[in-house]
Amino acid sequence: MKKAILLVAACALTGCTKPPSDTMQGYGEAQYVYVAAEDPGRLSQLLVKEGDTVAGGAPLFRLDPARQRITAEGAGAAASAAAARTSGNGAFVEALRAAQANAALANATYARSQTLHAKGFVAQARLDIDAAALRVANASVAEARANLNAALRENGAPEADARLARRRVRDLEVTAPTGGRVERVYHRAGEVLGVGAPVLALLPEGGMKLRFFAPERLLSALRSGGGVSIRCDGCPPNLKGRITYVATEPQFTPPVIYSLEQRDKLVFLVEATPDDATHIRPGLPVDVTLNRARE
């Protein structure tokens, strides 16, 4: 008993403290993919439930296509009408043909007037009138050709609108952008969704990472690609990982970390990817130790 009292007194006098630990505290964090439809609408079918594992490209949910189909039909009709106006028997082509026929007649009339004028059978006034008529006819041909060319160029806009409308109908069936596990479902069939409203959260394969906090004294030993050892409740022994990110600016120890050694001290945020994330869950506390041996 006396020895213990003496040891405590000696520590109080000499200021003995617990040696700093190389163990860093953190937690698991999920990098979710929030899946949403590109357009608003009513959710008609939810094809998965929380906990389901899906492959990339698998259907997840569908929106009611009724409204988008009406829009697509209108855009398709507008594109067809625009194409018809510039087709072989379209209004613009027929207008050009009529102008060309009038120009041909005016040219023939002017040529005949020139011949008769040269022989003295037609007055100069008549020749001037026929020349003016020819100029007007040629101008009408130029105008009709310009209108046709402009209509041909403008045909791309209604056709593009029709393609976009058809694409929107197809996009109402939303598929998984990557394989993974459905972690959260935020909406149910029958609900109306706004633009960009996520319907579910997907945890992709390899989507778990670790966020932990390193004291300044360990900063020089931390580097991207460096190895770490990981311990957590339920994790297999000798679990390893790799550092993927080291913050350049320090911060205060977050409140979730209750270490007396690091409280009120500046630390640096570090992120790492575990080699096996099977047992890592979002928010699960972890202890991370830097592997100082050569990798």
Residue 181 maps to which CATH number? 2.40.50.100
pLDDT at 22: 77
Residues 113-158 have pLDDT tens digits of: 888 888 888 888 888 898 899 899 899 989 988 888 887 777 778 8
Name the residue with higher pLDDT: 185 or 252: 185
Q: Based on the domain organization, do 112 and 242 belong to the same domain?
A: no
70 part of a folded domain: no
Residues 249-285 have pLDDT tens digits of: 887 655 555 455 544 467 889 999 998 888 888 889 9
11 part of a folded domain: no
pLDDT at 295: 43
Name the residue with higher pLDDT: 68 or 256: 68
295 part of a folded domain: no
pLDDT at 261: 54
Of the ranges 52-61, 74-83, 164-173, 200-209, which one carries the lowest mean pLDDT score?
74-83
Please compute the mean of the pLDDT values over residues 68-95 and round it to a whole number.
83
Q: Based on the domain organization, do 27 and 58 belong to the same domain?
A: no
List the CATH number of the domain containing 257: 2.40.30.170
pLDDT at 212: 92
Q: Based on the domain organization, do 55 and 198 belong to the same domain?
A: yes
Q: Is pLDDT above 70 for 209?
A: yes
Structural domain boundaries, residue 272 = 16-31+207-290
pLDDT at 257: 54
Q: How far apart are CA 193 and CA 215, in angstroms?
A: 45
Q: Which amino acid is at 153?
A: R
pLDDT at 231: 92
8 part of a folded domain: no
pLDDT at 19: 54
Residues 216-237 have pLDDT tens digits of: 888 888 888 999 999 998 888 8
Please compute the mean of the pLDDT values over residues 38-60 and round it to a whole number.
94
77 part of a folded domain: no
The helix (run of H) or strand (run of E) holding residue 66 is: helix 66-85
pLDDT at 253: 56
Q: Based on the domain organization, do 276 and 214 belong to the same domain?
A: yes
pLDDT at 201: 95
Rounded to two decimals, the pTM is 0.64
Q: Is pLDDT above 90 for 10?
A: no
Q: Based on the domain organization, do 286 and 214 belong to the same domain?
A: yes
Surface-to-core class of residue 71, CB atoms within 10 Å of its CB (0-12 exposed, 13-18 middle, 19+ buried): middle
Long-range contacts at 79-85 (CB < 8 A, ≥ 24 apart): 79/155, 79/158, 79/159, 79/161, 79/162, 81/158, 82/151, 82/154, 82/155, 82/158, 82/159, 83/155, 83/159, 85/151
